Chain A
Amino acid sequence: MSDVVKEDVVDAAVDEAHSGDIAGALADAHDDGHGEAHHSSLGLSNTKLAMWLFLGSECLLFGGLITTYMLYRNAHSADVGPDQLWDIPFTSASSFVLLMSSLTMVMAVSAANRKDDRNTKSWLIVTALLGSLFLAGQVYEFTTFYREGLGYTDSLFASSFYTLTGFHGVHVSVGIVMLLATMAMIAKNKISGDKAETVEMVGLYWHFVDVVWIIIFTLVYLIPA
């Protein structure tokens, strides 16, 4: 092959590389690293798959706690039990607050999908505030119950009730930290991957906390022992 022909072949290859393949490969690499989520062999996001797996396993944790409460809900003294302690209107208002926080959370996810950072941050902070209000209600409720004589180790009923609702409260607290951290990261543009997916993952956790409370509210508070 003559030098002139060799030169032409090399030039054509460089042109092709510059015009298409390498640029495309670089664009793909950039997308994989910064714009798109990593995908599993199923074609699904690894992050999302892991979150759903985690939530599925959380069902077993709360299932155990709810079952323990159901078994010991009658194991209390005659004067300090659900009939004397439960304040259904207060807990209903508290449940309503948590339910509405699911609405604000889904609004945040919706705004994130529209790439509307301003509204995403606003809805995230409203969700965190509603979560904090629910948590404040739970602290008030625990304090009231304790003052009325229901200590953590006073009965099997007390232990199982505080453990169940306390674990849920811890989950709400973790959710609030996640919401505020996500909001701060969006504000400082620190999210390296798919921003909408990050907000959606926090949303899935938050909605899970809400569905667990839907069950606790009915089984613990509304159904009499």
Chain B
Amino acid sequence: MTDVEASPATEHEHHLHGHHADAGHDGEHGPHDAVSDNRYIVIAVILAVITAAEVAASYIDLGAVFIPLLLFMMAVKFFIVASFFMHLRFDNRVFTWLFYTGVVLAVVVYVIALLTFRFFEA
């Protein structure tokens, strides 16, 4: 192959590689390589342990700590699944903003709705 023939091909190859590199940076293919299969299993075990702790807590009299503790464990499980299984931790931040905007909007709107119905008053 002559230099004249090789040059555009090489340039095109660079373009394609560059595209993939950029895409990976943007989170098109990159985030999936960030966590290994073994790590996914460890995460699933952590989720199972937290679920077991939640169920165990519901059988124990923990007093005033009970509901905040359950809500905390629920939030931890939510964030673990969203961050690692849904790859938000490694993906482009636009996706994180889109999803958590929905979550925060839902929480704010419905907490206001519950307040109007005096839900939190004993």
Residues of A at under 8 Å CB distance from B? Answer: 15-16, 19-21, 23-24, 27, 31, 36-37, 42-45, 48-49, 52-53, 55-60, 62-64, 66-67, 70-71, 88-89, 92, 95-96, 99-100, 102-103, 105-107, 109-110, 113, 196-197, 200, 203-204, 207-208, 210-211, 214-215, 217-219, 222-223
Of B12, B99, B106, which one neighbours A24 at CB under 8 angstroms?
A: B12
Chain A residues, CB < 8 A from B70 = 218, 222-223
Contact with A along B1-34 (1 / 0, CB 8 A): 0001101110110011001001100111100110
Task: Let me know if B8 and A19 touch, CB within 8 A.
Answer: yes
CB contact list, B34-68 vs A, under 8 A: 37, 40-41, 43-44, 47-48, 51, 54-55, 57-58, 67
Residues of the B chain whose Cβ atoms lie less than 8 Å from the Cβ of A45: 28
Which B residues are CB-close (under 8 A) to A20? Answer: 7-9, 11-12
**Given A43-B23, A103-B85, A223-B70, 19 further pairs, Cβ under 8 A:** A20-B7, A24-B12, A44-B28, A52-B94, A60-B105, A62-B106, A63-B109, A63-B110, A89-B55, A106-B84, A106-B85, A107-B40, A113-B29, A113-B33, A196-B32, A207-B81, A211-B81, A217-B54, A218-B54
CB-nearest residue of chain A to B12: A24
Kindly provide the distance from the CB of B10 to the nearest chain A CB, expressed in whole angstroms: 9
Question: Contacts A67-B113, A222-B54 known; A27 to B44 CB distance under 8 Å?
Answer: no
CB distance from A42 to the nearest CB of B (A): 6
Leading 5 A-B pairs by shortest Cβ distance: A20-B8, A56-B102, A63-B106, A59-B102, A103-B44
Taking A70-B114, A102-B85, A207-B85 as contacts, is the C-beta distance between A196 and B29 under 8 angstroms?
yes
Q: How far is the CB of B49 from chain A (nearest CB, A)?
A: 11
Q: How far, in angstroms, from A36 to B24 measured CA to CA in the complex?
A: 12
Q: CA separation between A214 and B44, bound complex, in Å? A: 13
